[in-house]
Amino acid sequence: MASQSDTLAFALSEADIKAMLDLLRGRSPKDLYREARIVLTVELERRRLKAPPAEIRLARDAFEALPLEVQELLRRTVSS
């Protein structure tokens, strides 16, 4: 289990999630971004089903593996 400092939390709008998934689409190697892609996709689907927005939580190593442009978008939305 990751410690609190090893987990990052983000408050994202639906538009932010879609933009990040678009940036990740087609990137290789796909396994490098698997955790982020799954977390973002699940949250987007929850919202499409009218669930209230939830925080996006990523392990620090999953965050650090993301392309720089995705990291920059996420840094602007850090909630804790």
pLDDT tens column, 20-77? 999 999 887 778 899 999 999 999 999 999 999 999 999 999 999 999 999 999 988 7
Inside any domain, residue 33: yes
On whether residue 22 sits in a domain, the answer given is yes
What pLDDT is recorded for position 1?
43
Is 34 inside a domain boundary?
Answer: yes
In a domain, 2, yes or no: no
Domain residues for the domain of 58 are 8-75
Domain count across the chain: 1
Nearest to 33 by CA among 7, 57, 65, 61: 65
pTM: 0.84
Would you say residue 3 lies in a domain?
no
Count helices and strands in the chain by DSSP H and E runs: 4, 2
In a domain, 55, yes or no: yes
